[in-house]
Chain A
């Protein structure tokens, strides 16, 4: 979860940087084009005009390339996010089904989810407004129903599933 937020933050910072860069280029381009046009009116044959016109043309090309690149970056970020959403939904389904197979009660399912998310007993107890002893007892029951030795194996159960199926 945090890793995902971080990588997205980086992507978003990159698109913002590239956008600002494009903006500066465009502002520069507009002024250059204005200058080139007035130079053209004065003396179209001068070296100054030819040179400046070439530079401006290069700038315009750069802006177009930058635009396409930025669009590609934004679309890549969006598709990554979508893939993540799908994967998250799929994993949620897998967990739901497995919990049902194990015959967990609704309360145990909730606690199981929170435990998978990495919350410790105290946090789960606080979230659910229950005593820590209750949560500990629920976790023990979950582990025994799942036939795992403890929290590490419980979490590994689903990760192993993912790795086995080769879902990236």
Chain B
């Protein structure tokens, strides 16, 4: 009979939050560690990541309460207070992300957007299908695609420098994403222990029961 009370403030993540969370995590890891930068699968996954991010951001505006931005506004003061509570071992439950987690979420989104945007600059905004087509053409010995491409950027060195810059940012952002991910996993473990419940299960299964 006591269970409804402990149960009621365990957040139930909806399917969109869960799908976009694990989808982005999977794509970031795969693209950072497995696929080769600039390869066709890398670009495909990048576009998939763009879709996931877009869906989650739309969901942040139109979705149910726990998923909406208004449920976890960025608030560094509250985040610090939460971290202090965590160190002291007395954390409380929040209806959505906790304040420190919320900052993490926004940092993730900013980096994901940056990684996607710089990736698009590096490929000149070409869809993965075009990238694949161009690659196939070059491989079959038709170099005209490359000529056309360098023709297109007739503004020359400016464009070139811009793309190089994008590449630098792309790499830094990707590394930051991995760093954030490690931080995030560590925080989830700490928080799970402090709250004496698994934070992973609701994100995996949307499970509400203890």
Contacts and interface: CB of A to CB of B under 8 A. Distances in A.
A and B associate in one complex: yes
Interface of A: 12, 15-16, 19-20, 22-23, 26-27, 29-31, 34-35, 37-38, 63-64, 67-68, 70-71, 74-75, 78, 85, 88-89, 92
Contacts of A12: 206
A103 B1 CA distance: 21
A38 B125 CA distance: 8
A73 to B, nearest CB: 9
13 contacts: A12-B206, A19-B16, A23-B16, A23-B19, A27-B48, A27-B51, A29-B51, A37-B125, A38-B127, A67-B62, A70-B63, A74-B14, A74-B63
Interface string B44-55: 000110111011
A110 to B, nearest CB: 11
Task: Rank and list the top 4 A-B pairs by shortest CB-CB distance, nearest first.
Answer: A19-B15, A34-B127, A30-B51, A27-B51
A85 B47 contact: no
Contacts of B62: 64, 67-68, 71
B69 interface: no
For the residues of B in contact with A, the DSSP-based class is helix
Main secondary structure on A side of the interface with B: helix
Given A38-B125, A38-B126, 11 more contacts: A19-B15, A23-B23, A23-B55, A26-B51, A30-B51, A30-B54, A31-B129, A37-B125, A68-B62, A71-B62, A85-B8
The listed residue with most A CB atoms (<10 A of its CB), out of B48, B64, B128, is B64
- The number of chain B residues touching the other chain, given as a range, is 20 to 34
A37 B130 CA distance: 12
Contacts of B19: 19-20, 23
